[in-house]
Amino acid sequence: MGTASASLWTISHGELLLRMVLAVLFGGVVGMEREWHNHAAGFRTHILVCLGSATIMLLSIYGFSQFVNEPNVRIDPARLAAQVISGIGFLGAGAILRNGSVISGLTTAASVWVVAAIGLCVGAGFLFAAFYSTMLVLISLFVLNKWEKYLMRHRRNHELTIKALDHPGVLGKLASAFGEQGIQIVNVKMIPDNESEQGGVEQPTMQLCFSLKVQSPAKFVAAMERIHAMDFVLSVESDGKLMVVPQHSGVERYH
């Protein structure tokens, strides 16, 4: 009985290595999806989180096996694992970014958290649960992501930040470009910006933050093309992603 009990708290080197390699594989496939979409926490980060969680779980179960038979020692395999669940929140918080009213990185933070859970499952030998969880995470990130975008394409507001020269009539011209395409301006905020050098002359600039209700992606693209052609527009950010604006030679007329 004592031998059987002791074997529960021991693990061979081969099994130890297998679980750590599986943690690398499971964390890597989730991290690859994040890396593919250029998120802050990518391939290596997810591998390290999953491997670290698995290692801590292995340590929690098997690292103190020599104390199992001590009368005053109580073995609790879940004690270190519980600290991983709460501690991983600090790493996930680093992936969350806020740009005005747009918050990004929540999905990446959640993927880091679930990868830690996968690592704990691998470390505990709960391999089927780890495998199923990895597959479901990939389905959520790949398939459900596209499905969600398709369903919410007409309900979600677009956040647009335009940096432009601070001249009279700028807001009206931008509003006209949206109105021509049937794009509704839900909210607009004007922020004075630093001066920008145009044609060798320092000129005041401003940031216009629009919240837009877009019914048709094609009309949104048409509006963006119209705005890009405006001389006073310096840069455009759509939903936190910078859009390239060509340099205009006609800016000199404002000098």
Q: Which pLDDT tens digit goes with each residue over 123-176?
A: 988 899 999 999 998 888 877 767 766 665 555 677 888 888 888 888 888 888
Q: Look up the CATH number of domain 158-254.
A: 3.30.70.260
**pLDDT over 50 at 254, yes or no:** no
Which of 114, 107, 106 minimizes the C-alpha distance to 133? 114
CATH 3.30.70.260-classified regions of the chain? 158-254
Which of 92, 122, 148 minimizes the C-alpha distance to 28? 122
Q: What is the dihedral of CA 204, 184, 178, 188, to 10 degrees?
A: 0
> Which residues are bridge partners to 210 per DSSP?
160, 188
Q: What are phi and psi of 190, to 5 degrees?
A: -110, 125
**pLDDT over 90 at 89, yes or no:** no
Q: What pTM did the predictor assign?
A: 0.57
> CB count, 10 Å around CB of 113?
16
Q: Do the beta carbons of residue 24 and residue 52 sit within 8 Å?
A: no
Q: Where does the pLDDT of residue 118 fall: very low under 50, low under 70, confident under 90, or very high at 90 and above?
A: very high
Which of 126, 134, 226 minimizes the C-alpha distance to 180? 226
195-241 pLDDT tens trace: 655 555 577 888 888 888 877 778 888 888 888 888 888 888 876 66
